[in-house]
Structure 1
Amino acid sequence: MTVSIFDHQLPNDSHNLYDVSFYTDNIHTLVTQTPSMVNTWLTETYQIYQSRPHRMIVGLDVEWRPSFNSYQNRVATLQLCVDGRCLIFQLIHAPFIPPSLVNFLGDASLTFVGVGIESDAERLLEDYGLGVANAVDLRVLAAEELGGRELRNAGLRGLVMEVLGKELTKPKRVTMSRWDNMWLTHAQVQYACLDAFLSFEIGKCLNAAG
Structure 2
Amino acid sequence: MNEDNISIEELDNGDTLRTSTVNVFGNEVFTFVTGRAAVVRRWIYKIRYEHRFKRDKLVVGLGVQWRPSMANPVAVLQFCVGGRCLIFQILHANSIPRILKRFLADDSTTFVGVNNYNDSYLLMRDYGLSVNRIFELGSVSRIRRASMETLARRILGFNGIRKPQWIGRSDWDDWWLTEDQMGLPRGF
Is TM more than 0.5 here?
yes
Partner of residue 16, structure 2: 14
Map residues 85-124 of structure 1 onto 2, 5 A cutoff. 85-124=84-123
Partner of residue 145, structure 2: 153
> In structure 1, which of residues 172, 177, 182 is the aligned counterpart of residue 175 of structure 2?
182
Does residue 1:36 correspond to 2:28, yes or no?
A: no
**Helix, strand or coil: the match of 1:122?**
helix
Structure-2 separation of matches of 1:73 and 1:186: 22
Q: Which amino acid aligns with 1:9?
A: D
Q: Which moved more, 1:159-168 or 1:78-87?
A: 159-168
**Helix, strand or coil: the match of 1:31?**
strand
RMSD: 1.6
Instruction: Figure out how many residues of one structure are paired with residues of the other and give that number.
Output: 180
> How big is the shift at 1:72?
1.9
Structure-2 separation of matches of 1:178 and 1:34: 19
Q: Which has the higher helix share?
A: 1
Question: Any unmatched runs of 5+ in structure 1?
Answer: 144-150, 192-210
CA contact (8 A) 1:5 1:186 kept: no
**TM-score, normalising length: structure 2:** 0.90
Q: Which has the higher strand share?
A: 2
Stretches of 4+ aligned residues off by more than 6 angstroms: none
Distance 1:107 1:24, change over 3 A: same
Question: Any unmatched runs of 5+ in structure 2?
Answer: none
State the Cα deviation string for residues 47-94 of structure 1 (Å, max 9, x = none): 101023760100000111123xxx621111000110000010000001
> How big is the shift at 1:177?
1.3
Structure-1 separation of matches of 2:92 and 2:176: 10
The percentage of counterpart residues that share the same residue type is 37
Does residue 1:74 correspond to 2:64, yes or no?
A: no
**TM-score, normalising length: structure 1:** 0.81
